[in-house]
Amino acid sequence: MTPTANPAQMHSFAEFYPFYLSEHSNRTCRRLHFVGSTLGLVCLGTALATGNAWWVLVGLLCGYAFAWMGHFGFEKNKPASFKRPLYSFMGDWVMYKDIWTGRIPF
């Protein structure tokens, strides 16, 4: 997929994910996503440990704030979450796993 592909016409996550990766070609953007996702997981764990659901909101804010800094500041594009929210959320976690496993450079 090229960055000019129309995500609205993609009918599966497998079709969407290469487009998602093309929207995350900047290493700093990927790193900011990784930090935001890690903070989101820490906040989720804190919510579960304390029973305080506000930590879930803090985790979402952390995740999206870091991701959007990466897109607007470094990638110079709009986040994929504006185009396909569910597939984008799924893509965040697949990319996170792919970074952990070394499939995508950190």
Query: What's the confidence (pLDDT) of residue 82?
Result: 82
For residue 49, being part of any structural domain is answered with yes
Range of the domain at 83: 27-100
Query: Is 44 inside any structural domain?
Result: yes
Reported as half-sphere exposure (CB side, CA atoms, 13 A), residue 92 has a value of 25
Residue 6: inside a domain: no
Distance separating alpha carbons of residues 26 and 76, to the nearest angstrom: 9
What are the tens digits of pLDDT across the range 80-96? 888 899 999 999 999 99
Would you say residue 13 lies in a domain? no
**Using alpha carbons only, what angle is made at residue 11 by residues 56 and 76, rounded to the nearest 5 degrees?**
60
Domain count for the chain, please give it: 1
Tally of CB atoms within 10 A around 72:
13
Tens digits of per-residue pLDDT, 25-58?
999 999 999 999 999 999 999 999 999 999 999 9
17: CB partners within 8 A, 6+ apart? 87, 91, 94
